[in-house]
Amino acid sequence: MAITVVGSVAFDSIETPAGRRERCLGGAATYFSLAASYFTDVRVIAVVGEDFGADEEAVFQARGIDTRGIERAAGKSFFWEGSYLDNLNEAKTHATELNVFGSFAPKIPEAYGDSQFLFLANIDPVLQRRVREAMPQARLVAGDTMNYWIKDHRAALLEVLKGLDILLINDTEARMLAGNNNLLQAAHAVLTMGPRMLVVKHGEYGATLFHGSAANVKSGERTFRAPALPLEEVVDPTGAGDSFAGGFFGYLASQAELTPGAFRRAMFYGSVMGSFAVQRFGTERLQQLSRDEIDHRFTLFRELTHLD
Ligand code: AMP
């Protein structure tokens, strides 16, 4: 099953304890689609500027990602600058320049019309909603967001949440969205806002899936936790969450049936893709993986948590 994703395609300047990189290819939709491309066909909707050249395009092409929905506009691409000098689990944002995203009106190529899976990666919730409404055929819709939209664009975001099956956010965002510091209570509150399932990402500590009725969630009954792989070195955490989402949703799209077991395995594949993403700067590691390497790491995760 093909996935259509809308989100930022960007240039990022990043500083971590391992070094600094200027204007490397980034963006939520970029990390998501690279990670998902190891599991299924991926189609991107985004806008880029004149600074997006053949080298950047080649990164998508090499993974067979459909870029017909990436519009080229006059001006500069989305730009983000961040650092992780104090805390590898949380980016400090120094600059966000929307540039061509500021006036983006998403156009969905006809060829994307049969996508059964839709992922609304991190971008203005107004754009997420427009794409959701333009793709009513999507059978499973998941999405992400960030503190910026939760704080300053709450009304638009709440509209998006109503149309989601699955929301994937990190724990700070879940607590902020719910206005509650207790994770279970926050999950319960978020599940009343629209999504049937909530995946809360805990950075280097893994991710938790909450689903079912509010009562189930409160008792911890419908909760599943996948670990993150302990790594000797985290070079660059940028895109870990989007790569998790790409592995998670890509794996689901590759399954004939969406059983509870498929969701549990998807949580592990999400963790696998997140663990690769952080081992090099930018999208470097995600560009050069093989399915064998991915499956080998999946078995490491199994061993990490196996009881008998
Ligand atoms: P993550 O580390 O998974 O949360 O995502 C990092 C990516 O999000 C970077 O590549 C940025 O280009 C992108 N990003 C940062 N801020 C925003 C924003 N306000 N809207 C959309 N994408 C963003």
| Cα–Cα distance for residue pair 286/102, rounded to 1 Å | 28
CA of 30 to the centre of ligand 1 (A): 10
pLDDT at 95: 97
- CATH of residue 94's domain is 3.40.1190.20
Look over the chain and give the mean of its residue pLDDT values, rounded to a whole number: 94
Q: Which residue bears the tokens 């490397």?
A: 24
3-class SS of residue 285: helix
CA of 120 to the centre of ligand 1 (A): 13
pLDDT at 147: 92
CA of 27 to the centre of ligand 1 (A): 5
CA of 263 to the centre of ligand 1 (A): 25
Higher per-residue pLDDT: 304 or 285: 285
Residue having the nearest C-alpha atom to atom 21 of ligand 1: 123
Atom of ligand 1 nearest to the CA of 170: 4
- What distances in angstroms separate CA 234 from CA 21, 25, 61, 108, 215, one per listed residue? 15, 19, 27, 36, 38
| Cα–Cα distance for residue pair 198/247, rounded to 1 Å | 16
pLDDT at 66: 98
**Could you tell me if residue 65 is left (phi over 0), alpha (psi between -120 and 50 degrees) or otherwise beta?**
beta
Question: What is the per-residue pLDDT across 247-275, written as a single tens digit (0 to 9) for each?
Answer: 999 999 999 999 999 999 999 999 999 99
pLDDT at 218: 54
CA of 136 to the centre of ligand 1 (A): 26
CA of 60 to the centre of ligand 1 (A): 18
- Looking at the predicted structure, is the pLDDT value of residue 19 above 80? yes
What residues flank ligand 1, with Cβ below 6 Å? 8, 10, 12, 26-28, 80, 96, 122-123, 146, 148, 238-242
Which of 238, 249, 275 for mutating ligand 1's site (highest number of atoms within 8 Å of CB)? 238
Domain that holds residue 26: 3-305
Question: What is the per-residue pLDDT across 42-91, written as a single tens digit (0 to 9) for each?
Answer: 999 999 999 999 999 999 999 999 999 999 999 999 999 999 998 888 89
Higher per-residue pLDDT: 111 or 215: 111
Question: What is the per-residue pLDDT across 184-221, written as a single tens digit (0 to 9) for each?
Answer: 999 999 999 999 999 999 988 999 999 876 555 555 55
Residue having the nearest C-alpha atom to atom 6 of ligand 1: 239
Residue having the nearest C-alpha atom to atom 20 of ligand 1: 123
Q: Beta strand 117-120 with 3-6: parallel, antiparallel or unpaired?
A: parallel
Higher per-residue pLDDT: 211 or 279: 279
Atom of ligand 1 nearest to the CA of 26: 10
Q: How many domains does the chain have?
A: 1
Residue 68 burial by Cβ neighbours in a 10 Å radius (0-12, 13-18, 19+)? middle
CA of 229 to the centre of ligand 1 (A): 22
Atom of ligand 1 nearest to the CA of 241: 3
pLDDT at 270: 97
CA of 110 to the centre of ligand 1 (A): 27
pLDDT at 64: 98
pTM of the model: 0.96
Q: Which residue bears the tokens 């969406």?
A: 258
- Helix axis angle for 171-178 and 183-191, nearest 10°, is 60
Which of 76, 122, 168 for mutating ligand 1's site (highest number of atoms within 8 Å of CB)? 122
CA 207 vs. chain centroid, Å, equals 13
pLDDT-derived band of residue 119, with 50, 70 and 90 as boundaries? very high
Tell me the residue ranges of DSSP E strands in 27-170: 42-48, 66-72, 78-83, 92-97, 117-120, 140-144, 166-170
